């Protein structure tokens, strides 16, 4: 597997056009945000993107290939609680030509570094669709632990499926030594 160098940039206007083909790709959005399921036009995507750019208290990062400056996805932390020092992780690699290359795993580690190392969080959670077995494996490799099952929490292709709730705690992250990940 080729080693990729990626960087995380603050999500901005220069990344908007990347989302247009992604949200129209049924396979790319199958297990992602429910909002993506409703987007049919570029105007729908613009409305969503404008909302994302105006969100406060959310870390939104564009995932950019370092050698080509091509945006291949976005990731970050939302639903942050200062009182509980917690947040929810999200990732979307929309460019399917970059699936299966380890980019998602590297991005996950980089976002965990931001959450635990820079923001001082104690807990980061996520939910993942049960049929998305590659993502479940990647999250486990990144240190996320299974917490529970949300029964029939997602409707895709006319069928309900379960979602898993997973989390990682600061002390688990520290044991894995993720704080040494270099962010370009």
pLDDT (tens digit, 9 = 90+) per residue, 60-69?
999 999 889 9
More confident residue, 53 or 183: 53
Looking at per-residue confidence, does 4 or 45 come out higher? 45
| H-run or E-run covering 169 | strand 159-169
How much is the mean pLDDT over the chain?
A: 90
- Residue 5's nearest CA partner among 100, 59, 61, 69 is 69
Q: Kindly state the helix (H) or strand (E) to which residue 123 belongs, with its residue range.
A: strand 123-129
CA distance 111 to 92: 13
β-strand pairing of 123-129 with 71-81? unpaired
Q: Which pLDDT belongs to residue 135?
A: 92
Alpha carbon of residue 161 to chain centroid: 20
Domain boundaries, the chain: 6-180
pLDDT confidence of 1, banded at 50, 70, 90?
Answer: very low
Whole-number Å distance between alpha carbons of 16 and 145: 33
Task: Kindly report the pTM of this predicted structure.
Answer: 0.89
How far is residue 94's CA from residue 135's CA, in Å, rounded to a whole number? 14
Region 140-167: what's the mean pLDDT?
Answer: 94
d(CA 16, CA 49): 7
| Mean pLDDT value across residues 63-81 | 94
Better-predicted residue by pLDDT, 18 or 180: 18
Fold adopted by 6-180? Aminopeptidase (3.40.630)
**Nearest partner of 169 among 114, 123, 125, 130, judged by Cα:** 123
Q: Is the pLDDT of residue 111 over 60?
A: yes
pLDDT band at 183 (very low <50, low <70, confident <90, very high): very low
Determine what percent of the chain is predicted with pLDDT higher than 90.
73
Summarize the confidence of residues 142-146 as an average pLDDT. Answer: 96
Identify whether the C-beta of residue 165 lies closer than 8 Å to the C-beta of residue 147: yes
Structure tokens at 82: 């200062």
């Amino acid at each position: 597997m080729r080693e990729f160098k990626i960087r995380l940039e603050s999500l901005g206007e220069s990344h908007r056009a990347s989302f247009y083909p992604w949200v129209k790709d049924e396979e790319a959005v199958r297990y992602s945000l429910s909002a993506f399921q409703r987007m049919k036009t570029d105007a729908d995507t613009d409305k969503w993107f404008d909302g994302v750019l105006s969100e406060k208290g959310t870390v939104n990062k564009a995932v950019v290939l370092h050698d080509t400056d091509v945006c291949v996805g976005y990731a970050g932390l939302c639903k942050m609680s200062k009182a509980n020092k917690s947040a929810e992780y999200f990732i979307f690699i929309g460019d399917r030509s970059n699936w299966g290359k380890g980019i998602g795993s590297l991005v996950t580690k980089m976002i965990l570094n931001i959450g635990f190392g820079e923001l001082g969080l104690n807990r980061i959670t996520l939910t993942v669709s049960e049929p998305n077995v590659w993502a479940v494996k990647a999250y486990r490799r990144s240190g996320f632990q299974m917490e529970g099952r949300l029964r029939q929490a997602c409707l895709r292709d006319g069928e309900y499926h379960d979602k898993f709730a997973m989390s990682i705690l600061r002390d688990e992250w520290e044991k894995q030594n993720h704080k040494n990940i270099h962010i370009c």
